[in-house]
Amino acid sequence: MVPRNPVVPAGGSLLVNCSTDCPQHELISLETSLLKEEVGTGLGWKAFRVNVTSDSKIFCSAICNGSQMSDSSDITVYEFPERVELAPLSPWNPVGKNFTLRCRVAGGAPRTNLSVLLLRGEEVLSQQLAVGEPAEVTTTVLASRNDHGANFSCRWELDLRPQGLGLFQNSSVPRQLRAFVLPGTPPHLSVPRFLEVGTSQAVTCILDGLFPASEAQVQLALGDQTLNATVVTHGDTLKATATATASAELEGAQEIVCNVTLGGESQETRENLTIYSFGGPVMNVSGTIRNMSQPTVHQGTTVNVTCAAGARVQVTLDGVPAAAPGQLALLQLNATERDDGRSFFCSAALEVDGVVLLRNRSVQLHVLYGPKIDPAKCPQHLMWKERTIQILRCQAQGNPDPQLQCLHEDSMAQVPIGIPFCVRLNYSGTYNCRAASSQGEHTFVVVMNVQERNPLTITIILAVLTTLGFVAAIPASIYVFGVHKRRDIYHVNQGNAGIPLTPKRPEGEPSS
Q: What is the pLDDT of residues 257-275, one digit of tens each?
A: 999 999 999 999 999 999 9
What homologous superfamily does CATH list for 374-451? Answer: Immunoglobulins (2.60.40.10)
Residue whose C-alpha is closest to residue 203's, from 272, 291, 299, 116:
272
**pLDDT for the residue numbered 385:** 94
Q: From CA 110, how far away is CA 130, in angstroms rounded?
A: 10
- Asked whether residue 207 carries a pLDDT value surpassing 50, the answer given is yes
Q: Kindly report which listed range (94-103, 146-155, 304-313) carries the lowest average pLDDT score.
A: 304-313
Q: Kindly report which listed range (40-49, 377-386, 503-512) carries the lowest average pLDDT score.
A: 503-512
Residue whose C-alpha is closest to residue 111's, from 150, 143, 76:
76
The answer to whether residues 494 and 465 touch, using CB atoms and an 8 Å cutoff, is yes
CATH class for the domain made up of 188-276? mainly beta
Please check whether the two domains, 188-276 and 374-451, share a CATH topology: yes
CATH topology of domain 83-180: Immunoglobulin-like (2.60.40)
**pLDDT for the residue numbered 306:** 94
Q: From CA 69, how far away is CA 58, in angstroms rounded?
A: 14
Confidence of residue 497 (pLDDT cuts 50, 70, 90): very low
- Asked whether residue 494 carries a pLDDT value surpassing 60, the answer given is no
Average pLDDT over residues 200-217: 95
- Asked whether residue 507 carries a pLDDT value surpassing 60, the answer given is no
pLDDT > 90 in the chain, percent: 61
Q: For residue 433, count other CB atoms closer than 10 A to its CB.
A: 21
* Boundaries of every domain in the chain: 7-78, 83-180, 188-276, 282-366, 374-451
CATH topology of domain 7-78: Immunoglobulin-like (2.60.40)
**pLDDT for the residue numbered 24:** 61
Give the phi and the psi of residue 214 in degrees, each rounded to 5: -70, -15
61 - beta bridge partners? 29, 70
Q: What is the pLDDT of residues 222-254, one digit of tens each?
A: 988 999 999 999 999 999 999 999 999 999 999
Q: From CA 299, how far away is CA 87, in angstroms rounded?
A: 96
Give the phi and the psi of residue 39 in degrees, each rounded to 5: -120, -5
Confidence of residue 465 (pLDDT cuts 50, 70, 90): very low
Average pLDDT over residues 155-159: 93
**pLDDT for the residue numbered 467:** 34
The dihedral formed by the CA atoms of 119, 123, 125 and 129, expressed in degrees to the nearest 10: 70
Just give the CATH number of 282-366. Answer: 2.60.40.10
- Asked whether residue 127 carries a pLDDT value surpassing 90, the answer given is yes
